[in-house]
Chains A and B, each alone.
Chain A
Amino acid sequence: ETGVTQSPTHLIKTRGQQVTLRCSSQSGHNTVSWYQQALGQGPQFIFQYYREEENGRGNFPPRFSGLQFPNYSSELNVNALELDDSALYLCASSLLGYNEQFFGPGTRLTVL
């Protein structure tokens, strides 16, 4: 059974640029969630995708957007990057309605 994978591991961007982060869900899971974790804080929910549609959203602006593909892999896109977007971005897959989410190792994004 393959776990959740994310790419890239690390990324450096400058303010105003756009970034795409990728996630491959665990086999058999139909739901993917994205979280942002700033240094010293707990992960904050960005949004969740189920059957290729957004299924819930946290308190993040529209410049944070996502996609889920038929194979349940997912992308997180962030436009007009700001310095405060520097964080660890975590992807988690699960079966809809189940509490247990399986997290990937994350992508460390640094915005200069």
Chain B
Amino acid sequence: LAKTTQPISMDSYEGQEVNITCSHNNIATNDYITWYQQFPSQGPRFIIQGYKTKVTNEVASLFIPADRKSSTLSLPRVSLSDTAVYYCLVGDLSSGAGSYQLTFGKGTKLSVIP
């Protein structure tokens, strides 16, 4: 399982764009990159997933360079409700009947300031 490294914490003002970068130097060919968000005393919530280049959905964008050794989660115009812990994970989708587990690190604690 590829190990990930992300900043422990980040602060941002409301309305700003926030970029959280994750390093995954040992990512394997079959691995996808997934980001989850977690509020206190709640389970994590899927945000976005990608394999290469750029993926965008209604809440975030994910930028993945050609070598795939890092990825950047971009949150446009954050609000106070975006204050949460954000986890970067890598994992193999082609598990078939084998085991598939999500390996969480400590995540990045994002604090949005009024």
Spell out A's residues near B (CB within 8 Å).
4, 33, 35, 40-45, 48, 50, 55-58, 88, 90-92, 96-106, 108
Contact = CB atoms under 8 A, between A and B. Distances in A.
A106 B96 CA distance: 27
Interface in B25-83: 32, 34, 41-46, 49
B101 A48 contact: yes
A6 B7 CA distance: 31
Nearest to A33: B101
28 contacts: A33-B102, A35-B102, A40-B106, A42-B104, A42-B105, A42-B106, A43-B102, A45-B101, A50-B97, A55-B99, A56-B99, A57-B99, A92-B102, A97-B95, A97-B96, A97-B100, A98-B93, A99-B32, A99-B34, A99-B91, A100-B34, A100-B46, A100-B49, A103-B42, A103-B43, A103-B44, A105-B42, A106-B42
A103 B95 CA distance: 20
A22 to B, nearest CB: 15
Nearest to B90: A99
Interface residues of B, number: 27
A5 to B, nearest CB: 11
Nearest to B94: A97
A44 B95 contact: no
Given A42-B107, A106-B42, A106-B43, A97 B102 contact: no
A4 B102 CA distance: 17
A82 B41 CA distance: 22
Nearest to A6: B43
A56 B101 contact: yes
B16 interface: no
Given A97-B100, A100-B46, A106-B43, 20 more contacts: A41-B106, A43-B104, A44-B104, A45-B101, A48-B99, A48-B100, A50-B97, A55-B99, A55-B100, A56-B101, A96-B97, A97-B94, A97-B96, A98-B93, A100-B34, A103-B43, A103-B45, A105-B41, A105-B42, A106-B41
Nearest to A103: B43
